[in-house]
Structure 1
Amino acid sequence: MFSKTRVTEPGPRSTATPEAEPYRPAPETPRDAAPALGGGMRRSAGPSVLSADLTVTGNITTEGDVQIEGLVEGDIRAHQLTVGESATIRGEIVAEDIVVNGRVIGRVRGLKVRLSATARVEGDIIHKTIAIESGAHFEGSVQRQEDPLATGGAPRLAPPKPRNDAAADGA
């Protein structure tokens, strides 16, 4: 069941022990191998996850990937965004790749937008490519743009001008 290892065996010990070796730091990763986020390449870390019991009031901005399972009341800007089945987002979503499995109340802007069968979206979608699975609920307009991530997005309508009652009466 148990066996002796070289360390526990009696006998003369080798002079080259781990304590006797000089310190050698681990080789550094060259800075150009993983440039800063936004420099084209991204680190391969997993997405940031906001769990189902979390409520965020305010905007979220990241160059990385985000998976939302809870409630967010604010705008979200990310590289890749996954809206989980239990999630609700009240605000604008802007990301290169968006997968909606839960509920979004607000505008969605993305290069690739996918609404799964469990998606519930109330708002306009501005996209380069879109996929809507059978069973998804969507209420709003869909507009294709070559660059939906541009800061302007779709033009918003100006609020109605107040009427001048004197001009309306013909005076």
Structure 2
Amino acid sequence: MFSNKDKKQEKQKNRPRTMERNVIAKTTTFVGDINSEGDFRIDGTLEGTLKTKGRVIIGTEGIIKGNVESTNADIEGKFSGQLSVANTLTIKATANISGEVTIGKLSIEPGATFNATCAMKGALKELNKGNETKKASEKTA
């Protein structure tokens, strides 16, 4: 019923996408905006905006000055600016973060420097759900 060509196309549709990993090396300074689907590792310096659906990793010697939007992030180096992480932000002991942070979940190792305003999106949703339930029970009582 299916030809070999159809079977190959079906297999390619069902195969998970491989995520690319982009690297800004230690001796590299990048100034500008980056949009990507894949993961990013910063071991050098980035000044600008980074938007990705993948994970952002800032290495021990990495520096980002600007805005970052990602699904997950691991920070060992320095970050200053606006950081928005949809899921989990992991801050290692060597990290130094300042600015505004919006996250889903947060993990901080002892020794990290965290001088930022922080808003957790996930906790806000749960809190609002609890208030709606309470209001509904108050109306029926």
TM-score by length of 2: 0.74
The 2-side partners of 1:55 and 1:124 are apart by: 23
Could you say what secondary structure the match of 2:122 adopts? coil
Structure 2: gaps (5+ residues): 1-7, 124-141
Paired position in structure 2 for 1:71: 45
For 1:97, give the aligned amino acid: N
For 2:65, give the aligned amino acid: R
1:84-142 CA distance string (max 9 Å, x none) = 11111011111111000000011111111011000000111111100011000011111
**Larger-gyration structure (1/2):** 1
Correspondence list, 1:6-155, <5 A: 30-34=11-15, 41-45=16-20, 47-78=21-52, 79-110=54-85, 111-146=87-122
Q: Shift of the alpha carbon at 1:48? A: 1.3
Structure with greater helix share of residues: 2
For 1:87, give the aligned amino acid: G
Percent identity, please.
23
Number of residue-to-residue matches in the alignment? 114
- RMSD of aligned residue pairs (Cα, Å): 1.9
The 2-side partners of 1:69 and 1:55 are apart by: 10
For 1:99, give the aligned amino acid: D
Dislocated runs of 4+, deviation >2 Å = 28-31
The 1-side partners of 2:28 and 2:73 are apart by: 20
Instruction: Determine which structure has greater relative contact order: mean sequence separation of CA pairs < 8 Å that are 6+ residues apart, divided by chain length.
Output: 2
For 2:50, give the aligned amino acid: I
For 1:52, give the aligned amino acid: K
1:30-86 CA distance string (max 9 Å, x none) = 43034xxxxxx43154x2111000110001111101101000000111211100111
Structure 1: gaps (5+ residues): 1-27, 35-40, 148-171
